[in-house]
């Protein structure tokens, strides 16, 4: 394209275009095929002829008997995970519809953190069920309307069957987090991971009264991203993972003579340099006499001494700054009584966490330093060597509002997966703090919705019943997949579940005596009462999953024209208009 370094624009002369039914079908197929194609290339083992849906690809990643995927990223790194979002994030696809499917799992991840596999499986299944509807010449608008209706009804069902949870109860919270961790690689250390997640979330959750005692009573903030930092240090045992009662930063003291262990330190946090002040703009000083030069140096020294004296007045034990600390300042600090330990070039985010943990305020100008800015809540300051790096710990804080989660484990890949699992667990705990209701897991909720919708669809008049019914059928995919993943007999177990569901519906909901609690035991593949089995999940995850899945299916159905603005023959360009058959045959690697 570029000649002699001059970039040349190539206008698109023949954009590819696909309209009407063909576009709709292609969308559904893309959701089915494109990812399969990419994964096939990457993993090299999935059969290209088997037309697997996007959902099919990550279907084996659902539930307690989930398989891991190993993905080689373009940089040559390995991703070892069964987290739906983490898998799809690594995949690049050509077809816009497949891209939008991947976007789905990202939405889910950002909104609630868990359920990213479920949302793709459900959305894929709904799309697959809408294909026969399109073939029966039902207008997409009719389908979409029925889908919206079904979504409303489904949300009502979730509301009906979910139960409140006491977020201060250790047992209930642990059981809930366990359900989320139980489907992950870390499930072997389930108890440990659950308590890590719970402790981290409890640490960083603050009520509005803590922050600003205004009239916004009861509103909580749980900022995991900012205040609960995960430090992954390869080496050691997984059992050594812990949540610190405080924070840790990857720094050492600036001078080897400084104290590395202090009990109950007084901490000053700065975000200004402890060096001579440089001019704001470029300054030139012309000196004619030698004494003048000495005077300038002296002034600089005095400036630093004045700063240090001001700090020393407050008798701190440790000074953290985001900027530099000059040798001279270190000298004054060491000579102070008590000698001061200085740590420099701390990251802004770390400094914020330290501030929350030790109860200090970050000071921008040393003249503004007040006694109330000094942090005194840290119990023990110490510097340790982990692996081959030094880490500064602010541990045993009295009531830290920020924490570091220290993960140890055999390798970087495993630590990364544990980190992702923990992130899921923490977001589940956070969701429940905001919306303390639980829905039964193991496919029980999906089954209850499915049965309720199927019942209603029968009574519906006209053509809208079919798409409504499609949602009901599609939702069965979750229990079915759970059964399949553990090698159970899907048809028999599903039938049993359905029948139990109908008992509930046919009797008055008042004496439903909890039949909708029946779901699949993901280890044996048998029908089990989720109440006694103890498998409960955050209702907000379920609600978000359904909303995202159905909304995206609606979106894709609304498309009746795909115009690919790529040049014909350009990499991946063809994907835009291929039909399923051609797509499956075209397996040349793109990268
Ligand atoms: N022990 C179990 N028995 C049966 N079903 C289970 C069990 N544990 C979890 N499940 C079910 O597994 C599903 C969750 O699986 P999983 O955690 O693999 O995927 P996800 O939450 O959709 O996505 P991800 O965690 O990858 O973001 C839920 O429907 C849950 O009810
Ligand atoms: Mg999960």
- Inform me whether the pLDDT recorded for 543 exceeds 90: yes
Report how far residue 68's alpha carbon sits from residue 16's, in angstroms, rounded to the nearest whole number: 37
CA distances to 239, 389, 406, 421, 526 from 236, in Å = 8, 14, 11, 19, 39
By percentage, how much of the chain surpasses pLDDT 90?
31
230, 254 contact by CB (below 8 A): no
376's tokens:
């005194």
Q: Look-up: residue for tokens 């509005």?
A: 208
Q: Which residues line ligand 1 (CB under 6 A)?
A: 61-64, 66, 83-85, 114-118, 179, 182-183, 424, 441-443, 478, 482, 520-522, 535, 537
Quote the pTM value.
0.78
Alpha-helical regions (H) of 136-227: 140-161, 170-181, 190-204, 208-211, 224-227
Which ligand does the CA of 116 lie closest to? 1
By percentage, how much of the chain surpasses pLDDT 70?
81
116 has catalytic annotation:
yes
- Inform me whether the pLDDT recorded for 288 exceeds 60: yes
Report how far residue 578's alpha carbon sits from residue 275's, in angstroms, rounded to the nearest whole number: 64
In which band, very low, low, confident or very high, does the pLDDT at 33 lie, cut at 50, 70 and 90?
very low
Alpha-helical regions (H) of 397-459: 412-434, 444-459
pLDDT per position as a tens digit, 554-566: 888 887 776 766 5
- Inform me whether the pLDDT recorded for 498 exceeds 90: no
| 89 vs 267 pLDDT, higher one | 267
DSSP string of 552-570?
HHHHHHH--EEEE-SPTTS
Alpha-helical regions (H) of 435-464: 444-459
> Which range has the worst mean pLDDT, 217-221, 545-549, 573-577?
573-577
Nearest to 420 by CA among 174, 170, 232, 202: 232
In which band, very low, low, confident or very high, does the pLDDT at 575 lie, cut at 50, 70 and 90?
very low
The end-to-end CA distance of the chain, in Å, is 19
- Ligand 2 mean position, distance from CA 251 (Å): 35
| 520 vs 345 pLDDT, higher one | 345
117 has catalytic annotation:
yes
161's tokens:
């069957």
Which ligand does the CA of 542 lie closest to? 1
- Ligand 2 mean position, distance from CA 126 (Å): 20
Which of 371-375, 514-518, 533-537 has the highest average model confidence (pLDDT)?
371-375
120, 91 contact by CB (below 8 A): no
- Inform me whether the pLDDT recorded for 9 exceeds 60: no
Report how far residue 234's alpha carbon sits from residue 170's, in angstroms, rounded to the nearest whole number: 30
pLDDT per position as a tens digit, 413-461: 889 989 999 998 999 888 888 888 988 888 889 988 988 888 888 888 8
In which band, very low, low, confident or very high, does the pLDDT at 43 lie, cut at 50, 70 and 90?
very low
Tell me, what's the pLDDT at 567? Answer: 58
Report how far residue 227's alpha carbon sits from residue 239's, in angstroms, rounded to the nearest whole number: 23
What mean pLDDT is predicted for residues 345-349?
Answer: 94
- Ligand 2 mean position, distance from CA 186 (Å): 12
Nearest-atom index, ligand 1, CA of 537: 31
Give the distance from CA 297 to its chain's centroid: 52
Find the catalytic residue in 56, 83, 350, 521. Answer: 83
- Inform me whether the pLDDT recorded for 384 exceeds 70: yes
| 40 vs 281 pLDDT, higher one | 281
- Inform me whether the pLDDT recorded for 7 exceeds 80: no
341 has catalytic annotation:
no
What mean pLDDT is predicted for residues 207-225?
Answer: 65
Q: Is 407 helix (H, G, I), strand (E, B) or coil?
A: strand
Nearest-atom index, ligand 1, CA of 180: 17
Strands, E, within 195-259: which ranges? 205-207, 220-222, 228-234, 242-243, 247-249
Q: Look-up: residue for tokens 């996007």?
A: 54
Mean pLDDT of the chain: 81
Q: How many helices (H) and strands (E) does the chain have?
A: 21, 22
């Amino acid at each position: 394209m570029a000649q002699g370094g001059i970039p040349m624009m190539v206008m698109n002369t023949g954009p590819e275009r696909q309209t009407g039914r063909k576009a709709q079908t292609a969308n559904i197929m893309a959701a089915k095929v494109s990812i399969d194609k990419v994964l096939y290339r990457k993993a090299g083992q999935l059969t290209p002829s088997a037309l697997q849906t996007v959902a099919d690809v990550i279907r084996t990643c659902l539930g307690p008997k989930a398989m891991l995927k190993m993905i080689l990223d373009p940089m040559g790194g390995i991703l070892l995970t069964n987290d739906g979002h983490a898998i799809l994030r690594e995949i690049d696809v050509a077809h816009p519809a497949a891209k939008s499917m991947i976007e789905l799992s990202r939405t889910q991840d950002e909104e609630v953190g868990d359920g990213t596999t479920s949302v793709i499986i459900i959305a894929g299944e709904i799309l697959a069920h809408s294909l026969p509807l399109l073939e029966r010449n039902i207008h997409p608008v009719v389908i979409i309307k029925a889908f919206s209706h079904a979504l409303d009804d489904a949300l009502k069902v979730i509301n009906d069957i979910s139960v409140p949870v006491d977020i201060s109860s250790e047992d209930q919270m642990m059981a809930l987090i366990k359900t989320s961790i139980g489907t992950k690689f870390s499930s072997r250390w389930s108890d440990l991971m659950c308590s890590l997640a719970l402790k981290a979330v409890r640490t960083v959750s603050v009520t509005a009264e803590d922050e600003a005692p205004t009239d916004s009573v009861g509103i909580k903030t749980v900022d995991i991203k900012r205040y609960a930092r995960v430090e992954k240090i390869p080496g050691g045992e997984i059992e050594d993972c812990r949540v610190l009662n405080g924070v840790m930063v990857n720094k050492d003291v600036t001078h080897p003579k400084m104290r590395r262990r202090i009990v109950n330190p007084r901490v000053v946090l700065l975000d200004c340099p402890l060096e001579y002040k440089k001019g704001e703009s470029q300054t030139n000083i012309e000196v004619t006499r030698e004494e003048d030069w000495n005077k300038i140096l002296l002034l600089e020294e005095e400036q630093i001494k004045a700063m240090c004296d001001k700090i020393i007045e407050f008798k701190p034990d440790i000074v953290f700054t985001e900027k530099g600390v000059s040798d001279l300042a270190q000298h004054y600090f060491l000579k102070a009584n008590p000698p001061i330990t200085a740590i420099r070039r701390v990251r802004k985010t770390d400094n914020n966490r330290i501030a929350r943990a030790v109860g200090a305020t970050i000071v921008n100008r040393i003249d503004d330093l007040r006694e109330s800015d000094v942090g005194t809540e840290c119990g023990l300051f110490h510097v340790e060597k982990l692996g081959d790096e030094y880490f500064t710990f602010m541990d045993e804080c009295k009531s830290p509002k920020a924490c570091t989660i220290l993960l140890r484990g055999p390798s970087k890949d495993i630590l990364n997966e544990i980190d992702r699992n923990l992130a899921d667990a923490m977001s589940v705990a956070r969701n429940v703090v905001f919306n303390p209701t639980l829905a039964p897991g193991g496919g029980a909720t999906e089954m209850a919705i499915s049965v309720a919708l199927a019942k209603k669809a029968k009574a519906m008049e006209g053509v809208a019943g079919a798409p409504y019914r499609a949602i009901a059928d599609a939702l069965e995919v979750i229990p079915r997949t759970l059964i399949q993943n553990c090698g159970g007999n899907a048809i028999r177990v599903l039938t049993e579940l359905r029948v139990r569901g109908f008992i509930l519906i046919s009797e008055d909901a008042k004496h439903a005596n909890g039949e909708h609690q029946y779901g699949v035991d993901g280890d044996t593949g048998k029908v089990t009462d989720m109440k006694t089995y103890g498998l409960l999940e955050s209702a907000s995850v379920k609600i978000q999953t359904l909303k995202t899945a159905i909304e995206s299916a609606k979106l894709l159905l609304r498309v009746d024209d795909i115009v690919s603005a790529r040049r014909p023959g350009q990499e991946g360009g063809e994907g835009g208009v291929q039909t399923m058959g051609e797509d499956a045959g075209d397996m040349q690697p793109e990268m």
